[in-house]
Structure 1
Amino acid sequence: MASACATSSPLVSAPSACPSKKTSAARFRRRTFSCRATGGGGGGRGNNDGFLWLPRRDVMLSGLSGVAAGLAWYPGLASGADSSSSPCTTADKVNEKILLCADTDKQKPCPLVSPAAPVDFTPEGKVTRVRQPVHLLSREYQEKYKEAVGKMKALPESNPLSFKAQAAIHQAYCDNYYKYHKSSGSTVAKDDPAFDVHYSWIFAPWHRMYIYFYERALGDLIGDKTFALPFWSWDAPAGMVVPALFKEAFANPLYDPNRNTANLNALVDLDYLSHRDAKPIDFKGPKDEKYKELVNKNLCTVYNQQVRKGPESFLGEKFCTAIDGTSGMGSLERMAHTAMHVWVGKAGAKPCDAAAGGVLSHKDNGAFNCNNDMGFLGSVGNDPLFYSHHSNVDRMWHLWSTRMGGGQGITDPDWLDASFVFYDDVKSPRKVRIKFRDVVDTRDLGYTYDPEYDRDLPWLRPKITTLVPHGKDSGGAAARSSAAPPVFPLALTKGQVVEVPAVAVPAREAGKEQLLVIDGIDFDPQANNKFDVAINLPADKALLVGPQYKEYAGSFAVVPGSGAGETRKGKVSLCITDVLYDLDAEDDSTVDVLIVPRTNAKVTINVRPTIKNRK
């Protein structure tokens, strides 16, 4: 498919290329502001004391068998109730004193501790740092960036702001080293539930905190308070390749040998897990048709990630529990972010051991993982590219909040007052307690993103088409699926499309958006997991679906971590108001939902998808 969005220059002046049977003006208004947050003020603070909330395990397996036992950990589902009607209720309060990191003799990835009590974070008050795209940095700034990272790598490991210590922070919080500590003792127990900052709306603010203190440390090391962490602009054509600054191996502290060499000079694929075995496309420039097709598909991926999504779909579900409960990633985490981790990570070596650059997986009986470094949650912090990658992920949240009508997307006072502790001040490290409410506006952190670079966003005008006719031209009811409903629980198999016919669509309520919810997802957290979701497609066309087509509703994908042989429970909520509108199905009482497995990972869906209204 040739694209009208091949390079950054024609994108500046090109008209909207999202055809619809509705008027183009009405279409643009809906696509830009549909599924936005209804409030941006953060809500009332209420009576709270700065804790996260983790509900107690209140459903027991005893007395259940078969399907009912399999659904016991999904509140309300075993009885056939709507999965969305099971919010957090009974809860234990949790803060950094209850979340404990379990050291191991093999890796010791837990952040260094200090006996001194943490001080409370003080907002900076004014913007002194402007983050810029890596590919546009001046030579002087490139050398400044390398100097700062080089000095961080030269710090003794005992300094909590050393590069190894910084990498250990991500490994600990993001690869299940932290535990929700239930007993009164000072050490964690084997049955203490794992805690993870992924898979929920904690993802965006925690990573913003993390790279904020990383950025501050780099500035301290070179004596420049105006130093800002550059971002890898994979959302624009000119940035859709691993930046050259990170690829030069000689005396370059930004270089990491544990990257996938087959992808280093290729055009990035923001939908990579859908066809990971395909040959990468060389960076040949705007006249190459395959190049233009992939550029457009990448822009469509970012468009779907950023524009169609409300707070629940974009940031993720409310963080309820790490105790065998469901988690819900937002599109910010499971789309381009995940794809770029897997794209950069070194392909798994066989045999996988320390000599092959493998990372010891602490939960897998001494096994090594070779999806390193970016491709494995336990090792991503070892690659300097990770921090510029997450600077762009953070920018996506910033743009969603300020340009997409999302506001803060945060109204829960308990969520706003949740706190974590990080270190600052390289010379005299001290612990700082920072709350989520301190990071919802980048100005409170003293930085912003280059406004001139963001003046024109090419992914607001991708070319999105349909795979098949819809509405009056489709033959009406004759075009709908006649397949028998699948039986759940259902194990997914790569390449085998699952048809779920006649999913009820409730009438859209004023001020609310329509969400397609797939709850009861069991997946292997160590594997590359991905499945796409489409609406109103014949099964024989579903394997072709992707973000460049209007039938595409979204996807589920994760970055691999530790835990082979274990199962994690997940959930995905896809805002489909615009999808139904594009398919002339906004007034239909039912739609056909198709689930398209993309990887060989073991994934089971326990319950039938549902559609609901949600603010």
Structure 2
Amino acid sequence: MAASLLLTRSPNYSSCPVISKKSRASGNGNGNGNGKGSIRPSSWSRAGPCLSGKRQMALTPRPPLVSCNIDANNKPCEQGKENESEKNGGGRRDLIQAASMVGLSFLAVSPSPNGSAWGAPVVPPDLNTCGPATVTTPPGVPSAPATSVSCCLLPPTKPIIDYELPSKPKIHRRRPAHKVDDDYISKYNKAYELMKALPSSDPRSFMRQADIHCAFCNGAYNQLGSTNKLQVHFSWLFLPWHRWYLYFHEQILAKLIGDPKFSLVYWNWDNQANVGGNIMPTMFTQEGSALYDAKRNQNHLPPILNTLALTDLASNALTNKQIIQDNLNIMYQSIVTASTPDLFMGKKYSAGDPEPNIGGTLENAPHTAIHAWTGSDKETYLEDMGNFYSAARDPIFFAHHSNVDRLWAVWNTIGGRRRDHTDPDFLNAEFLFYDENGCMVRVKAKDALDNSKLGVTYIKVNGDQLWLNYEPQPLSTTTTSKQVVPRSMDDIPELGPASQDTSPTKIDKKFVSLVKRPTAVPQELLDKGLEEEDLEEVLVLEYVEVPRNVATHIAVFINLPQADATTPLSCAEYVGSFINIPHLVGEGMDMSSRSVCARFGISDNLQRLGITDLSTISVTVVAKLGGSEEIPISLKGIKIEYE
């Protein structure tokens, strides 16, 4: 993929519909999607590298729980019951509503030690405050105009309801796309034909379904009561939000096709067993099919193997054997060595937080790589799959994310500390979707943690064992535990952790730094009951600055200072990747770049390299795509910490 691969045009939506004054008065209508108020300090920042900024939360009462009358199919939309957590939180809600009744527009309280005021999960936005998402001219493409995209959700015509999962859900058995037969492909195609035939006024229509991803991934909405944008990527919200997105998309297709057990397929791109999983599924490549999208990279059609890393393929052609080995280690490093929830799922993102910047390893590497690999290199911004605003316009998106969802379930089975977050701010995060009846519903992250309760199962494949049990081998024989610092590292500088006064260091193709390992385990971790052997050493790249509107990829190696863009990713020195794809931004956001924190578990790598007794190691950051005048990448600090 050429380094100039870059985010296209606005859909033909002239404006976002608004809810009438009448519906607002009825309790439907402040359009806030969740209706919950939040109590927040008026202005405060969370200290620490890679997460800082202002939190601002206004006082907004939740609308009363009412019932939805008639859905798009003239069927009643029944109001869900308040769950136990909402009952327990009634005092907070009553206080908020009471405050609003006496004319208070804002109430500030001191944050609790965990960074929340009485606990403050992310809640849905005010649906009447949608704005356009904008993209600037990408580097190297001066003829490409800046453009804005409107992907606002259709405001509900009936009150939002709290969704209740059925006690006995219909079982949806998701199958690998390369294993389904012609009859199922025909049925699958018909379901999407029916969805695409729905009018744009129907929230279940294909483009309106695609708008959901665009709206919550590109800064269309502010967080409720805040000027900070709502974003469901780059944090612990990524996996549960997309699981719910798939769930309702599947429910809609099932209703349209008249089969309550209709199931999505999954693109088994992690499967390197040479049985067809790691190519673009042929069921999506037939022109004229409802599953086809012309905006795909035509150089990546079957039988070309998908790569889970971005590279300039024109100058660094890889053999199929090397692609497979690289893919296996990328999977191993992204899932198996990501031994904690923070590493795998991403870090905390609560109400009022600024744009999240600490995504998990599954999101940062293989997930994003497939997006970029599928998007068209002929489109300015890698549409469709290669850009968040347009990704869900390609039906293959839902097969791709079904595999992401499946891999989350696989991670849960590995053991150790690989368990979902338990923080109340995670569990009680709320999202909005349209159900199969066209009713807007409110759901919580915690209700998506068990796929069996959603009625979702995945047909097992043998390919998982190849990367679950992968054994990466060292490339270098010089970095042994007998050496404090290899001779080749004598002249390598030490960047150190970032501080407020640290200036960015440019990554010009590659950057090498010495990094000290921690000398002791923080007592706060031991106080949590963790054994020292259960702790993970985590390599942290702080404040990595990448352009928003260009595909970029950095690969990270330890104790291999000679690593460059040609170094295979199958080696034990490789600890992981961070990949960025173009995405639009909302009004008021930095349109040129974003600052992220990339984190990698390295305990397994240290053991495989035999360097667990070294006090200092080298870290090499390689720009496999980017790191040039046109595509600048920089960082402020590097450190290793226990988790």
TM-score (norm 1): 0.76
Which amino acid is 2:293 matched to?
Answer: D
Question: What is aligned with 2:234?
Answer: 199
CA gap of 1:422–1:493, structure 2 versus 1, over 3 A, is same
1:58, distance to aligned residue in structure 2 (A): 2.6
Please state if 1:263 is matched with 2:300.
yes
Query: Greater CA deviation, 498-507 or 570-579?
Result: 498-507
CA gap of 1:541–1:474, structure 2 versus 1, over 3 A, is farther
Any conservation in 2 of the 1:416–1:437 contact (CA below 8 Å)? yes
Which amino acid is 2:542 matched to?
Answer: D
Question: What is aligned with 1:379?
Answer: 390
Question: What is aligned with 1:292?
Answer: 321
CA gap of 1:71–1:313, structure 2 versus 1, over 3 A, is closer
Please state if 1:499 is matched with 2:504.
no
Task: Provide the rounded CA distance (Å) in 2 between the counterparts of 1:532 and 1:589.
Answer: 23
CA gap of 1:567–1:472, structure 2 versus 1, over 3 A, is closer
Please state if 1:118 is matched with 2:160.
yes
SS in 1 for 2:539: strand
Question: What is aligned with 1:30?
Answer: none
Question: What is aligned with 2:438?
Answer: 429
CA gap of 1:131–1:275, structure 2 versus 1, over 3 A, is same
Select 1:234's aligned residue among 247, 251, 269. 269
Task: Provide the rounded CA distance (Å) in 1 between the counterparts of 2:351 and 2:632.
Answer: 23
Any conservation in 2 of the 1:313–1:575 contact (CA below 8 Å)? yes
Question: What is aligned with 1:530?
Answer: 553
The C-alpha deviation readout for 1:123-144, integer Å capped at 9, x for no partner, is 2345611100001001111111
CA RMSD of aligned residues (A): 3.1
Select 2:369's aligned residue among 339, 358, 363. 339
Task: Provide the rounded CA distance (Å) in 2 between the counterparts of 1:456 and 1:347.
Answer: 30
1:312, distance to aligned residue in structure 2 (A): 1.1
Task: Provide the rounded CA distance (Å) in 2 between the counterparts of 1:520 and 1:471.
Answer: 28
Question: What is aligned with 2:465?
Answer: 457
SS in 2 for 1:457: helix
Question: What is aligned with 2:202?
Answer: 159
1:433, distance to aligned residue in structure 2 (A): 1.3
Question: What is aligned with 1:88?
Answer: 115
CA gap of 1:472–1:296, structure 2 versus 1, over 3 A, is closer
CA gap of 1:265–1:602, structure 2 versus 1, over 3 A, is same
The C-alpha deviation readout for 1:219-252, integer Å capped at 9, x for no partner, is 11111111110000001132111111111103x0
Which amino acid is 2:440 matched to?
Answer: K
- Map 1:272-311; keep pairs closer than 5 Å: 272-278=309-315, 290-309=319-338, 310-311=340-341
The C-alpha deviation readout for 1:282-320, integer Å capped at 9, x for no partner, is xxxxxxxx2222112212211111100021111111114
1:553, distance to aligned residue in structure 2 (A): 1.4
CA gap of 1:179–1:194, structure 2 versus 1, over 3 A, is same
1:414, distance to aligned residue in structure 2 (A): 1.9
Task: Provide the rounded CA distance (Å) in 1 between the counterparts of 2:40 and 2:466.
Answer: 40
CA gap of 1:510–1:493, structure 2 versus 1, over 3 A, is closer
Query: Greater CA deviation, 87-96 or 597-606?
Result: 87-96
Question: What is aligned with 1:603?
Answer: 633
Any conservation in 2 of the 1:513–1:575 contact (CA below 8 Å)? yes
Task: Provide the rounded CA distance (Å) in 2 between the counterparts of 1:130 and 1:207.
Answer: 18
Task: Provide the rounded CA distance (Å) in 2 between the counterparts of 1:221 and 1:325.
Answer: 37
Task: Provide the rounded CA distance (Å) in 2 between the counterparts of 1:71 and 1:517.
Answer: 9
- Map 1:393-412; keep pairs closer than 5 Å: 393-403=404-414, 405=416, 408-412=419-423
1:162, distance to aligned residue in structure 2 (A): 0.5
Question: What is aligned with 1:490?
Answer: 504
Which amino acid is 1:113 matched to?
Answer: P
Using the aligned pairs only, state the percent identity.
Answer: 29
Which amino acid is 2:447 matched to?
Answer: D
Any conservation in 1 of the 2:248–2:433 contact (CA below 8 Å)? yes
Structure 1 residue runs without a partner (length 5+):
1-48, 61-67, 76-85, 184-191, 282-289, 350-368
1:217, distance to aligned residue in structure 2 (A): 0.6
1:461, distance to aligned residue in structure 2 (A): 3.6
Task: Provide the rounded CA distance (Å) in 1 between the counterparts of 2:258 and 2:359.
Answer: 38
Please state if 1:556 is matched with 2:578.
yes
Task: Provide the rounded CA distance (Å) in 1 between the counterparts of 2:450 and 2:470.
Answer: 28
SS in 2 for 1:215: helix
Any conservation in 2 of the 1:534–1:542 contact (CA below 8 Å)? no
The C-alpha deviation readout for 1:424-476, integer Å capped at 9, x for no partner, is 12xx421221110110110111111013x258632224352212115548755
Question: What is aligned with 1:330?
Answer: 360
Any conservation in 1 of the 2:231–2:356 contact (CA below 8 Å)? no
SS in 1 for 2:152: coil
Task: Provide the rounded CA distance (Å) in 2 between the counterparts of 1:217 and 1:173.
Answer: 20
Task: Provide the rounded CA distance (Å) in 2 between the counterparts of 1:256 and 1:605.
Answer: 37
Any conservation in 1 of the 2:563–2:622 contact (CA below 8 Å)? no
SS in 2 for 1:179: coil
CA gap of 1:108–1:478, structure 2 versus 1, over 3 A, is closer
Which amino acid is 1:548 matched to?
Answer: S
Task: Provide the rounded CA distance (Å) in 1 between the counterparts of 2:335 and 2:405.
Answer: 12
Any conservation in 2 of the 1:534–1:552 contact (CA below 8 Å)? yes
Please state if 1:58 is matched with 2:44.
yes
Structure 2 residue runs without a partner (length 5+):
1-34, 55-112, 134-147, 497-501, 522-531
Question: What is aligned with 1:574?
Answer: 600
- Map 1:10-159; keep pairs closer than 5 Å: 57-58=43-44, 73=52, 88-89=115-116, 94-98=122-126, 101-104=129-132, 107-124=149-166, 125-126=168-169, 128-159=171-202
Any conservation in 2 of the 1:421–1:433 contact (CA below 8 Å)? yes
CA gap of 1:326–1:394, structure 2 versus 1, over 3 A, is closer
